[in-house]
A and B are shown apart, each in its own frame.
Chain A
Amino acid sequence: MDQWINEPIVMDLLSIIRVAFRALQRNKMRAALTMLGIIIGVSAVVAMVSIGQGAQAAVQAQIDSIGTNLLFVSAGAQNVGGVRSGTGDSGTNTLTVEDLDAIKREVPSVAMVTPSVTTRGQLVAGNANWNTQIQGVSEQFPDIRKWAVGSGEFFSDSDVRTAARVLVIGQTIADNLFAGGDPVGQEIRVQNLPFRVVGVMARKGQDQQGRDQDDIAFTPYSTVQNKITGSQRVQVAFVSAVSADATYTAQDQITELLRQRHKLGTNEPNDFTVRNMSDIAEAANETNSTMTLLLACIAGVSLLVGGIGIMNIMLVSVTERTREIGIRMAIGARSSAVRSQFLIESVVLSLMGGVIGILLGIVVSLAIPRMLGWPTLISTMAIIGSAVFSAMVGIFFGYYPARKAAALDPIEALRYE
């Protein structure tokens, strides 16, 4: 017996890949159209995920800029007995400056506290005037909110004690009232009372909802309470814990202290609300993750449709090339060689589509912030994921047509017209 019979023929992979490429080259238009399905699917996945991740990153950045050790204490409670509709609303009067002093004094995990009493007012400087939000806070506000003063300085604790008529204004107000001049040391009249501008906050820009964060003026809370509104109410307070880890402890301790001070019985609900930034960040992240997943899933469906397109074309191709398959088998191609050829054709189609789709997705992701103003973040995971997924689409949807090709009988295939 000849020895060659025990030596099965092994075709090198490179040759099979070259054969597949040559076959695709023979029908460029069809190959391009088939790839289009995958290109659209993959680029949609990459673009959608980068939009989602961009939104997530923007929220995270904003939260980080506020500080993760931040807590909000507000008067009133949400949804208690379904009666009180919100926190810090005009009807509630449950949070006082004394409560806040007690928090600062008695809760060890709290570093800084500032009340926040907000009103709106007309600011007049010379001939110019501007309607804006006036926020009464303590001298610790810049440290708590991590918002630096741009020029001049923030007011001091003695300004707070004396309810001094001092203002620290945002950049938008500076631009509108002083038009390029230095506002520090200038006079602004609020409800006909003269205020001295002691500082201008650094520019902050728009927030997530597109509101101008620089259109605001800060003054001591005591000044708002005594000189502007005449009301002693505190709507909200910002509390900063000693560390990010201490926020939950701080939250519990503040709740306990306020319940004690407000003399609430064990069964009575809180008449205030304490929230920490981590909870808010988590909620925001969760919303964004859900959105990202939803967008990716919708885009994934188009990738699946692209895969079905590949299967469709490969099935047509196998039928159309029955004679070619017969020739290849007659001159010595094993079934496995024919199967590999068709499988590689479909993998090449889907992988090339995947690569082009990734590039297109990156281009789209870079174009979206310019064109729509949405932040995007190109995700490496999405890119790797789409590349792997498109190769899998090629194998999965190419396998059935390839098996069909390999199962052909050479005699019948050669006879096929």
Chain B
Amino acid sequence: MQAVQEITRATPAVVDAMQIPDARPVIELEHIHKTYTMGDVQVHALRGVSLTIREGEFVAIMGASGSGKSTTMNILGCLDRPTKGTYILDGQDVSEMSKDERADIRSRKIGFVFQGFNLLSRTSALENVELPMLYAGVSSAERHARAMESLASVGLAGREQNHPNQLSGGQQQRVAVARALVNDPALILADEPTGNLDSRTSVEVMEIFQRLNRERDITLILVTHEADIAQYAQRIVVFKDGKIRKDYQVEHQRNAAEELRSLPPIEEDEDEEEEE
């Protein structure tokens, strides 16, 4: 119920697919190579990837498994380091950083949204959203206030004390989005965020992404293998065999808010469903 109200309140707005060419680059990958050694065999996961993503862009990364998109995602998320090449994130060279430095970068610059939601179980939505701030050294009072605000911004006001098992899949993913947003990151990395969701809930999550991108100018990177989901982005980058195969602007970007309005109204129990 809450979610539906939140979504209908959202600004319909014309989809502005136009890219601002002189916007500040958030991500600059230059000739990135990633090689894994498995026994005696060298596996070349990435073979010279160069990619620039500017502030406020909504980019979908596509590719079959083994194409290198997951490796790119791990490097973009500072979870892994490139074997060769330079990665400049928000003006900062992160390619040679230590484990701890990358943890700090993740804390301050990157928000993650995962396929499996990856919320802490038996922990309230509020505490889950507070978690990134805990590791960023934010004071307890501020953590609480910002988490409440972030949950409200994804339409989950009133659900703060619910545990993940008391929330539907869509609601859980919105908690994850609230968590990704809460440290005001330079970019949000969403790894197959709709993989575990039905099509209607997928559209709901896309609507939130589009709204965040449009209203707050948040840079979004969406890793997906579903072509129709990729159509919600402004730009699609296709990986194959460790290289970028295609990189193009989406001509007819889908508008999740409009699609939601045209969908038949949902039964109330979908949101109220609580699994104990």
A binds B: yes
Specify which chain A residues have a CB less than 8 angstroms from the CB of B77 in the assembled complex. 330
Indicate whether A5 sits within 8 Å of B135 (C-beta atoms), given known contacts A331-B179, A332-B103, A332-B104: no
- Whether B114 is near chain A, meaning CB under 8 Å from some CB there, is yes
The answer for the CA separation of A309 and B196 in the assembled complex, in Å, is 38
Instruction: Decide if B96 is an interface residue (CB 8 Å cutoff).
Output: no
Contact with B along A1-41 (1 / 0, CB 8 A): 11011001111100100010010001000000000000000
A327 partner, pick from B103, B104, B108, B120, beta carbons under 8 A: B120
> Within 8 Å CB of A9, what residues of B?
104, 107, 135-137
Cα-based distance from A12 to B107 in the complex (angstroms): 16
Q: Return A187 CB to nearest CB of chain B, in Å.
A: 86
CB atoms of B103 and A333 under 8 A apart: yes
- Chain B residues with CB below 8 A from A11, complex form: 134-135, 137
Contacts of A15 in B (CB 8 A): 134, 140
Q: Are A330 and B106 interface neighbours, CB within 8 A?
A: yes
In the assembled complex, the CB of B80 is this many whole angstroms from the nearest CB of chain A, namely 6
Q: Which of B91, B108, B118, B122 contacts A323 (CB 8 A)?
A: B118
- Tell me if B127 is interfacial: C-beta within 8 Å of chain A: yes
Collect the chain A residues with CB atoms within 8 Å of residue B136's CB: 9, 332
Interface positions, chain B 94-116, Cβ under 8 Å from A, are: 99-101, 103-104, 106-108, 112, 114
Closest to A8 in B: B104
B8 near A: Cβ within 8 Å?
no
| 0/1 interface trace, chain B 55-93, chain A, CB 8 Å (1 if under) | 000000000000000000010010110000000000110
Which residues of A are found within 8 Å of B107, using beta-carbon distances? 9, 331-333
Give B157-211 interface residues, CB cut-off 8 Å to A.
179, 183
- Return chain A residues, CB-CB under 8 Å to B104: 4-5, 8-9, 332, 334
Which of B91, B103, B119 lies at the interface centre, i.e. has the most chain A CB atoms within 10 A of its CB? B103
Interface check A128, CB cutoff 8 A = no
- B250: chain A residues within 8 A (beta carbon): none
The interface size bin for chain A is 20 to 34
Residue of A26, A327, A336 with most chain B CB atoms under a 10 A cut-off:
A327
Decide: B106 and A332 in contact? CB cutoff 8 A: yes
Contact of B123 with A by CB under 8 A: yes
- Shortest CB–CB separation between residue A236 and chain B, in angstroms? 75
**For B118, B127, B134, which residue has the most chain A Cβ atoms within 10 angstroms?**
B134
User: Would you call B131 an interface residue if the criterion is a C-beta within 8 Å of the partner chain's C-beta atoms?
Assistant: yes
- Cβ of B242 within 8 Å of any chain A Cβ, yes or no, is no
A334 to B121, CA, bound (A): 21
Max chain B Cβ within 10 angstroms of own Cβ: one of A8, A332, A336 = A332
Q: Write out the residue numbers on chain B whose beta carbons fall within 8 Å of the beta carbon of A332.
A: 103-104, 106-108, 132, 135-136, 183
Residues of B within 8 A of A326 (CB): 118
* Residue contact A335 to B100, C-beta cutoff 8 Å: yes
| 296-334 of chain A: CB within 8 A of chain B | 323-324, 326-334
**Other-chain contact of B120, A12, A324, A335 (Cβ < 8 Å):** A324
Q: Mark A373-417, 1 if CB is under 8 A from B, else 0.
A: 000000000000000000000000000000000000011001000
Whether the Cβ atoms of B131 and A331 lie closer than 8 Å is yes
User: What is the bound-complex CA distance between A2 and B104, given in angstroms?
Assistant: 13
Closest A residue, CB atoms, query B118:
A327
A97 at the interface (CB under 8 A from B): no
**CA A12 – CA B99 in complex, angstroms?**
20
A359, CB-defined interface residue at 8 Å: no
Q: How far is the CA of A97 from the CA of B74 in the complex (A)?
A: 102
Taking the nearest CB of chain B, how far is it from the CB of A345, in angstroms? 14
Does A163 lie at the interface of the complex (its beta carbon under 8 Å from any beta carbon of B)? no
- Give the chain B neighbours of A12 by CB distance below 8 A: 137
A337 in the interface (beta carbon within 8 A): yes
Query: Does the CB pair B106–A331 fall under 8 Å?
Result: yes
- Residue from B103, B114, B140 in contact with A334 in the complex, judged by beta carbons closer than 8 Å: B103
Chain B residue nearest in CB terms to A323 = B118
In contact, A414 and B134 (Cβ under 8 angstroms): no
Q: In the bound complex, do residue B134 and residue A1 qualify as a contact, i.e. CB atoms below 8 Å apart?
A: no
Which chain A residues lie closer than 8 Å to B135 at the CB level?
9, 11, 328, 331-334, 337
CA distance A4 to B106 in the complex (A): 13
Give chain A residues whose Cβ lies under 8 Å from the Cβ of B108: 4, 332
Return chain A residues, CB-CB under 8 Å to B120: 324, 327
A9-B107, A410-B79 are contacts. A331–B112 as well, Cβ < 8 Å? yes
Contact check, B92 vs A5: say whether CB atoms are below 8 A apart. Answer: yes
Shortest Cβ distance from residue B164 to the other chain A in the assembled complex, whole angstroms:
12
Q: Look across to chain A and name the residue whose beta carbon is closest to the beta carbon of B97.
A: A5
Task: Establish whether residues B100 and A2, one from each chain, have CB atoms under 8 Å apart when the complex forms.
Answer: no
Within the assembled complex, what's the spacing in Å between the Cα atoms of A324 and B131? 12
| CB–CB A2/B91 < 8 A | yes
Produce 1/0 per residue, A329-356, CB < 8 A to B: 1111111110000000000000000000
Can you report 9 residue pairs joining A to B where beta carbons are below 8 Å apart? Answer: A5-B92, A8-B104, A15-B134, A26-B123, A327-B118, A332-B135, A333-B107, A335-B100, A414-B114
| B contact set with A: CB distance below 8 Å | 74, 77, 79-80, 91-92, 99-101, 103-104, 106-108, 112, 114, 118-123, 127, 131-132, 134-137, 140, 179, 183
Given contacts A331-B179, A332-B108, 11 further A-B contacts (CB under 8 A): A2-B92, A5-B101, A5-B104, A326-B118, A329-B103, A330-B112, A330-B118, A331-B107, A332-B103, A333-B107, A333-B135
The 5 A-B residue pairs whose C-beta atoms are closest, nearest first, are A332-B107, A332-B135, A334-B103, A331-B132, A26-B122
